[in-house]
């Protein structure tokens, strides 16, 4: 399990670019996903994200994102409590848009 609970946008970009194996979880509400999304992220509501904790803890790591990073932090902490290798995107999709992809709408 990675030491850091958060992953910065630049490190996530590298993971996506190098096609590393990981489960990419968007824990925002469906209407938020409609407004803005990071390509490669699986849409899932915060409530259904808990089902991810029942997946195989030895599976690929999980990167969770939300709007500003608070909901995803809670999900990542919960997943870690279930022995799942999980990290939260620091600053959420808002920081991703500001630092990595300005084409992703900010809201």
Question: Per residue in 21-46, pLDDT tens?
Answer: 999 999 999 999 999 999 876 665 54
Does residue 52 register a pLDDT over 90?
A: no
Q: For the stretch 85-105, what's the b/e string if a residue is b when 16 or more beta carbons lie within 10 angstroms of its beta carbon?
A: bbbbbbbbbbbbbeebeeebe
User: Top-level CATH class of 6-99?
Assistant: alpha beta
Domain residue spans of the chain: 6-99
Distance between CA atoms of 64 and 68, rounded to whole angstroms?
11
Residue with tokens 């994102």: 65
Q: For the stretch 34-52, what's the b/e string if a residue is b when 16 or more beta carbons lie within 10 angstroms of its beta carbon?
A: eebbbeebeebebeebeeb
- Of 69, 16, 23, 68, give the one whose Cα is nearest residue 42: 23
Q: What is the pTM of this model?
A: 0.85
């Amino acid at each position: 399990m990675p030491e850091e609970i958060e992953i910065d946008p630049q490190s996530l970009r590298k993971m996506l670019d190098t096609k590393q194996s990981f489960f990419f979880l968007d824990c925002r509400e469906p209407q938020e996903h409609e407004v803005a999304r990071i390509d490669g992220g699986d849409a899932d509501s915060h409530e259904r994200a808990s089902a991810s904790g029942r997946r195989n803890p030895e599976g690929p790591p999980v990167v969770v994102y939300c709007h500003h990073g608070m909901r995803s932090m809670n999900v990542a902490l919960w997943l870690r409590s279930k022995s799942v290798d999980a990290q939260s995107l620091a600053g959420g999709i808002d920081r991703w848009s500001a630092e990595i992809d300005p084409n992703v709408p900010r809201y």
